[in-house]
Structure 1
């Protein structure tokens, strides 16, 4: 469809004036996609769900529930709520959504929560994504979960999780973390996040 100036297409059936329209790119990290019996979701189906919300340039990254899209709104909470609701309708079960801007994701990759020597010696280095920041009391509780094999660092809406043994050999599980935080979260390996930053050319500091 050809649009005369000053109109710009910003999604399926959505248009805005070029001079007043600001399109932002977001990354959604979904919880429990393709994890567990009966929860298999094709990435094409996931993309269609996001497009049904009138987001533009929707693309997925690997099959663990990572979706990149563009939208005109800057209200992150509204986006997360709408995505969660539409996924509930489409899939029949609740899926928590955690959104970051492209600048935020680049900052997360560049942040150094542990000395390089510790990171290099670790068997796994994961990032736990939350919807909101962690208060000081909860930070202390998370730090207290440290074991001989697992160490945590809270920064903003992320918890950096360093593992000195693979999950099969570790005495730590996410159960006490879930009880401590009292809220949903999703986990990604730092390698996955770095690959996303490189693939989509997010601005890096």
Structure 2
């Protein structure tokens, strides 16, 4: 089965990882058809019958061993990404400004009560929709100008996750098809 793996916080500040290093680590695990996507810790590969939890755990350990870098790893298969794209709650925004639409990938279902706490204490322009283990957020003014992230942290929406803009989500899905 083919998987897309997304690493948290890669190539931000001192957390540098070259695509060639990531590819070598994944190939060293015995996975095949390895292809990195962009330079932000995205890779697709064939992993046979490996379970997603094992891939996440083992890739995390292999990266740390090979590079010293500790990074949370989140994997999704083609069906999961296709379903996310199909159920996008913001289709117009995805067409008009896809880099301002961000998907946060989580290991467990997103805490809807925490999202409701955010909605009650924050009146910014951003909109959020939970789709099982993903949180889709529309940042109409961009993430850099948003005050939403600190509010989300106060609402205890701090479980491990990694975000990708809509363009990257579509590139990962396309790579799984290729």
TM-score normalised by L of structure 2: 0.86
Whole-Å separation in 2 of the counterparts to 1:60 and 1:117: 26
Q: CA contact under 8 A between 1:98 and 1:130: conserved in structure 2?
A: yes
2:88 aligns with: 112
Contact 2:101–2:165 (Cα < 8 Å) also in 1: yes
Query: Aligned residue for 2:11?
Result: 34
The CA distance in 1 between the partners of 2:117 and 2:77, in whole Å, is 28
* Number of positions where the alignment pairs a residue of Structure 1 with one of Structure 2: 177
**Is the deviation greater in 174-183 or in 41-50?**
174-183
Cα drift, residue 150 of structure 1 = 1.3
Distance 2:172 2:55 in 1: 20
Q: Give the aligned partner of residue 137 of structure 2.
A: 161
- Judged with a 3 Å threshold, the aligned counterparts in structure 2 of structure 1 residues 194 and 132 are, in CA distance, closer, same or farther, namely same
Q: 1:47 aligns with which of 16, 23, 26?
A: 23
Indicate the SS of the match to 1:57: strand
Determine the structure 1 residue equivalent to 2:37.
Answer: 61
In the TM superposition, 1:50-199 aligns within 5 A as 50-114=26-90, 116=92, 120=96, 124-144=100-120, 146-172=122-148, 174-179=149-154, 180-199=156-175
Contact in 1 for aligned 2:10/2:17 (Cα 8 Å): yes
CA deviation after TM superposition for structure 1 residue 74, in Å: 4.1
Shift of 1:185: 0.9
Q: 1:30 to 1:88 in 2, by over 3 A?
A: same
Which structure 2 residue ranges, 5 or more long, are not aligned?
A: none
* RMSD (CA atoms): 2.4
Relative contact order, higher structure (CA 8 A, sep 6+): 2
Larger Cα-atom Rg: 1
Does the 8 Å contact 1:123/1:164 carry over to 2?
A: no
Report Cα offsets for 1:17-62 as digits up to 9, x if no partner: xxxxxxx00000111111112x221111110101111111111011
Question: What is the CA–CA distance in structure 2 between the aligned matches of 1:136 and 1:35, rounded to whole Å?
Answer: 29
What is the CA-CA distance between 1:138 and the residue it aligns to? Answer: 3.1
Distance apart, 1:164 and its partner CA: 1.6
Q: Report the secondary structure of 2:177's partner residue.
A: coil
Which range moves more in the overlay, 178-187 or 94-103?
178-187
